Structures are given as C-alpha cells and as structure tokens.
C-alpha cells in the first residue's frame, strides 16, 4: 500500500473531524464547526482494546514509531503528525506491516491534546526531533511551551514519562527549563540534565541524518509526579 492510496475523506470545503481507517483527522479549522466526542481508545474504530497508550508527537514519516509498534504489540501507539503528506506515510506503514496497534492523528498536537485527550490516560509520551525554530523571534512557535507541558502533565498517568529528543542545543536548554519548572514534572537525568545515548531507543530519518552530519543527539526524560 502506497501513501498516495490514502485519500482525505472530505473536501476542503467540507472539513470535519472524523476517524476512518486508522486515521483520526482533526483539521485546525472546520468549514462548519461540529461537536465531536472522542469515543475512547478501546472503541472498535481506534484500537478496540484497553492496552496502555503511548503517544509520539511530531512523528514525521513514522519510521521510529512503526518500529516500536512492531516490537511491542502489547502496547497501543499513537502517531501525532500535523502534515497530511507525512501522516499518509505512517498510514502506509500500518497497512504494509499490519500494525493494528498503531494509529495516526492528523492534526496539530496542542489542539488535539487540549480538546480531546482525557486526564491521566496516556502511559508514556515521546517527541522526536521537533522543529527547533532556532531564531529567537520564532521561539514562540516551538511546540514546547508552558501551556503544552501543562497538557502533557494532565494527560500522563502518574509516574508516566515524557521523553524529548533533539540535536539542537538551544532547544535542549529551552526544554529543560520549561519542563523542569512545572510542579508535576521532574527531570530524570542528572546534570547536565540530558543523555547523549539511550540504549534500545531506536532510530529515525532525522536521527540518522544528524548523526551522519556529526551532530550530538540529546535525550531528555521527565516523569510525572504521583501526587500534586
């Protein structure tokens, strides 16, 4: 199954929130706003079971999360990717490798999380190589912001982990600062508060690209406190 085989199930003028064939479409703007209630991860249109749910934001072409889903069939994996051209590549991997435990959300991460994801419902969260928006004037566009970390802390189960990976030193320091000042999140890495290797973590397009260019990869891991 090729990525081009996935067609958006609505026209531009009829944009809507819909779940179809392992993809949950969440347009940032709907032509006609409609009420929508997420049916739950155990609904037949999603996973159809109550296994733990793992999120990856900024999934790109899905190489990392598809490999994880294949290695861990007892877990439910959710790829969140804003760009449809990338979401369809993840869908293609689901089809070609029969990954029934992998599901795609085609939508903006903060919007989806804030509107539809329940408190204490996600076991672990990953974010691999998000756009660092390196210029100071563009820093407001970074996904890692106080409000987004509030949402991560809200949806994570107690003791759940948030793992952030980047090649960009500035974004690394930014993330350490933003997440560490949240009362419900603690840094699991000793000073300098990140690791340069994480055994068995897996790889992706950007991981390979930046390593080939001689860049150092920084792994950050935070845990949600069990009490407020």
Q: What tokens were used for 109?
A: 């991460």
- Alpha carbon distances (Å) from 138 to 130, 131, 142, 227: 14, 11, 8, 35
Residue from 164, 185, 186, 161 nearest 175 by CA = 164
Q: What phi and psi, each to the nearest 5 degrees, are found at residue 118? A: -75, 155
Q: Which of 14, 42, 131, 177 is catalytic?
A: 131
Report the distance separating Cα 208 and Cα 163, nearest Å: 18
Beta bridge partners of 219: 165, 195
Surface-to-core class of residue 189, CB atoms within 10 Å of its CB (0-12 exposed, 13-18 middle, 19+ buried): middle
Distance CA 164, CA 176 (A): 10
Catalytic-residue membership of 131: yes
Nearest to 158 by CA among 227, 220, 78, 221: 227
Rg of the chain over all Cα atoms, to the nearest angstrom: 17
What are residue 25's phi and psi, to 5 degrees? -90, 125
Q: Which residues belong to the active site?
A: 131
């Amino acid at each position: 199954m090729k990525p081009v085989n996935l067609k958006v199930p609505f026209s531009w003028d009829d944009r809507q929130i819909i779940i179809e064939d392992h993809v949950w479409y969440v347009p940032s703007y709907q032509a006609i706003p409609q009420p929508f209630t997420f049916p739950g991860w155990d609904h037949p249109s999603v996973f159809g079971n109550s296994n733990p749910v793992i999120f990856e934001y900024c999934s790109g072409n899905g190489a990392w999360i598809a490999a994880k889903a294949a290695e861990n069939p007892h877990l439910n994996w959710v790829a969140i990717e804003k760009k449809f051209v990338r979401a369809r590549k993840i869908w293609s991997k689901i089809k070609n490798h029969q990954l029934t435990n992998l599901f795609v959300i085609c939508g903006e991460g903060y919007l989806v999380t804030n509107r539809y994801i329940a408190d204490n419902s996600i076991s672990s969260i990953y974010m691999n190589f998000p756009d660092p928006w390196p210029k100071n004037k563009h820093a407001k566009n970074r996904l890692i912001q106080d409000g987004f970390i509030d949402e991560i802390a809200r949806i994570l189960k107690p003791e759940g982990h948030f793992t952030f990976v980047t090649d960009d030193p500035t974004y690394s320091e930014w993330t350490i600062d933003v997440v560490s000042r949240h009362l419900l999140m603690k840094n699991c890495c000793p000073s300098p508060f990140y690791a340069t290797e994480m055994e068995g973590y897996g790889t992706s397009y950007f991981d390979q690209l930046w390593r080939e260019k001689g860049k150092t990869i920084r792994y950050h891991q935070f845990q949600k406190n069990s009490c407020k």
